[in-house]
Amino acid sequence: MLRQPKLTKKLVFILACSFFLSCSNKDKNEISTYIGGQIINPKMDYVLLSHHDKKIDTITLNNSGAFDFQCENLQTNLYIIKHGELQYIFIEPGDSIMFRLNTVGFDESLAFSGRGAEKNNFLMNLFLQNEEEDKRLPELYKLNPKPFEKEIFHVKKALLRELDEFIISEKPSESFIHIALANINYNYYSRKELYLSSKKTANDHKDTQYPENFFTYRDSIELNDNTLKNYYTYYQFINRYLDNLAYHGHTKKEPTFNKISYWHQTQKLKLIDSLITNKQLHDNLLQNTVKRYLVHADDPKKEHDLVALYKKLDHNKAHQNEVEKYAHNTAKINAGKLIPNLALITTNSEITSIQKINTSKTVFFFCNSESVKHYKEIHVRVADLKNKYPEYTFIGINTGSDLEAWKKTVISSGYNPSQEYLLKNSSTAKNALFINSANKAMIVDKGGIILEGNSNLFNQNFESLLLGHLNKK
């Protein structure tokens, strides 16, 4: 029996394989595939259906928020339904999949039904169970390698047992089995890579004695699996694996393990180019690696040099143009720059500005009250930080557009109205502040000088940054 954990993730990453064929060139032997559903509280009047980077169709919602799409020649694959947020769906020819979701409380509301739903529901539950397990990792990192491996292998074994039961009862295709196994295995491998990274970050990896077979999985991994190239779990594992490999290539230049440093990212770009032969995976990894560096960088020369190296290794002109624009935008929020003086709206509907309310060392955090669960989670995190670091003022900035709904949320949740604001012009502000993450935070000194332009409120080193800036005179 499959467990039914509570849905907690905005993005449900469900895999697929093979390649996409368009909905044209119909003939009498083609099999129809149907996708439909209903969006409660829609944010726009359409949904987008796509495969990888290719848009298949724009599907209009009717007055009740319902939509439907029928296509021939839709092959076994991973497809994306986008309506503000993304939903990945595994589809095989002849499937007739329906799903219903509420954009308020997106994750809790999502449900699949129809022919093909059992595969998606299984993979969804598999993903969510892995997600729940990942919450234990900070505590598991404290264990020695042998008990750590025992803990995570216990989870892997339980998931493999669930997959066996599903295969017996549902008799899914080989494509599905390949996907499900990859989900289980690459999550398991990722946890080992993360364990190693945690030891390097703590600078105690040299004293750690690993069991002889702890890393033997590395001998059998496929770094260029075309069927998995866009699968989140696979992609995430490769990133973590390459981070650990990159460290060994720059220890003479920089002995500490710092995944966002110039030397680390330089070595990682070179590894991607030498090890990843799948063009799409290669280009995406290169692009995301250089972007990751740029959002944290504050040295113009190193930024220029890393972008130059990236352009030598990448052959996608559109990606190169995007990275150059990205570098231009991130430079605006480098440490030492004055924070853009953007207009804000108070809970009393008055207009003020960021620099006006920045009267002490401040942490600006960004969230959207329309994403109910995340909005609560980020305020719980902030409440904890406020208690630990009273020297800082914590200011919440809402990136949504519904003024009245936001004000009601602030009041009903009991948040301090004097520390909650709404962006007056959200699109302009998101570009100026480079709000590229749901957990983004900025640490700003009194007077508006940026200390940290692009931090993650939930990152394990965020408190170290807060302490570091308090200790600087």
Same-domain status, 151 and 216: yes
| Residue 473 pLDDT | 57
Whether residue 344 is predicted with pLDDT greater than 90 in this model: the reply is: yes
CA-based torsion, 237, 248, 192, 142: positive or negative: negative
CA distances from 338 to 152, 343, 430, 446, 452 (A): 46, 15, 16, 11, 11
Whether residue 335 is predicted with pLDDT greater than 90 in this model: the reply is: no
Burial of residue 412 (number of CB atoms within 10 Å: 0-12, 13-18, 19+): exposed
Same-domain status, 179 and 267: yes
Number of domains, the chain: 2
Same-domain status, 293 and 386: no
Neighbour count for residue 45 (Cβ, 10 Å): 13
SS3 per residue for 196-219: HHHHHHCCCHHHCCCCCCCCHHHH
The average confidence (pLDDT) of the chain is 86
Report CA dihedral (325, 51, 132, 177) to the nearest 10 degrees: -140
**Helix axis angle, 262-275 relative to 300-313, nearest 10°?**
0
Give the predicted TM-score (pTM) of the model.
Answer: 0.79
Q: Which of 272, 303, 333 is the last residue in one of the domains?
A: 333
Q: Which of 333, 353, 387 is the last residue in one of the domains?
A: 333
Do residues 50 and 87 lie in contact, with contact meaning Cβ atoms separated by under 8 Å? no
Q: Measured in Å, how far apart are the chain's first and last C-alpha atoms?
A: 59
- Confidence bin at 1 (pLDDT 50/70/90): very low
Whether residue 306 is predicted with pLDDT greater than 80 in this model: the reply is: yes
SS3 category, 80? strand
Percent of the chain with pLDDT over 70: 91
Whether residue 108 is predicted with pLDDT greater than 60 in this model: the reply is: no
Side chain identity at 114, as an amino acid letter?
G
| Most distant pair of Cα atoms in the chain: their distance | 77
Domain membership flag for residue 119 = no
Q: Smallest Cα–Cα separation from 444: which of 395, 387, 400, 398?
A: 395
CA distances from 440 to 352, 436, 443 (A): 21, 7, 10
Same-domain status, 326 and 350: no
Domain membership flag for residue 18 = no
Same-domain status, 261 and 158: yes
Same-domain status, 420 and 290: no
| Residue 468 pLDDT | 92
Same-domain status, 176 and 304: yes
Say which CATH number the domain at 431 has: 3.40.30.10
Q: Which of 333, 364, 380 is the last residue in one of the domains?
A: 333
Give the pLDDT confidence of 175-217 residue by residue, as tens digits: 999 999 999 999 999 999 999 999 888 776 677 889 999 999 9
- Residue 75 gets the label, from left (phi > 0), alpha (psi -120 to 50) or beta, of beta
Pairing of strands 440-444, 450-456: antiparallel
Burial of residue 118 (number of CB atoms within 10 Å: 0-12, 13-18, 19+): middle
| Residue 142 pLDDT | 92
Whether residue 454 is predicted with pLDDT greater than 90 in this model: the reply is: no
Q: Which helix (H) or strand (E) holds 117?
A: helix 117-134
Do residues 33 and 102 lie in contact, with contact meaning Cβ atoms separated by under 8 Å? no
Whether residue 289 is predicted with pLDDT greater than 70 in this model: the reply is: yes
Domain membership flag for residue 221 = yes
Give the pLDDT confidence of 140-159 residue by residue, as tens digits: 999 999 999 999 999 999 99
Domain membership flag for residue 367 = yes
Whether residue 107 is predicted with pLDDT greater than 60 in this model: the reply is: no
Domain membership flag for residue 52 = no
| Residue 109 pLDDT | 62
Q: Smallest Cα–Cα separation from 172: which of 124, 120, 99?
A: 120
CA-based torsion, 418, 420, 422, 423: positive or negative: positive
Q: Which helix (H) or strand (E) holds 311?
A: helix 300-313
Same-domain status, 285 and 157: yes
Domain membership flag for residue 284 = yes
Task: Provide the residue range defining the domain that includes 194.
Answer: 129-333
Same-domain status, 167 and 211: yes
Same-domain status, 435 and 393: yes
Domain membership flag for residue 50 = no
Give the pLDDT confidence of 10-58 residue by residue, as tens digits: 333 333 333 333 444 445 456 899 989 888 888 788 888 887 667 788 9
Same-domain status, 325 and 353: no
Domain membership flag for residue 8 = no
Same-domain status, 365 and 318: no
Do residues 38 and 66 lie in contact, with contact meaning Cβ atoms separated by under 8 Å? yes
